[in-house]
Amino acid sequence: MSLVTFKLYAEDKSRAQQKRWRIPENTLHLSELAGGWLGGFIAQQRLRHKSSKRSYQISFWGIVILHQAIWIDYVFLRSTILGTIFNF
């Protein structure tokens, strides 16, 4: 998923430079949320795309924190928090 997200960032940057129709930010965020946040992070650093837009960064880092919290809960807390929320 990270590779897909990286490619979406690259395509969006290319379209922006050519003044063409852009990939919606929600599409980029959905791709990050689906597991591609690392690809998004790498693309921001390598391509210098979406790295300085504050509103975008707030959403992006919220997605990263959500992913990290879920993995910490799953790996270290044996799904204690997720199990409580979803009753499993």
pLDDT recorded at residue 83? 74
State pTM to two decimals. Answer: 0.86
Measured CA to CA, the distance from residue 53 to residue 66 in angstroms comes to 20
Please check the confidence at residue 4 and state whether its pLDDT lies above 80: yes
Cα–chain-centroid distance for residue 48? Answer: 15
Residue 30: which residues within 8 A CB-CB, separation 6 or more?
A: none
Neighbours of 9 (CB within 10 A): 25
Residue 77's pLDDT band (cuts 50, 70, 90): confident
Neighbours of 35 (CB within 10 A): 13
pLDDT recorded at residue 79? 79
5-41 tens-digit pLDDT: 999 999 999 999 999 999 999 999 999 999 999 999 9
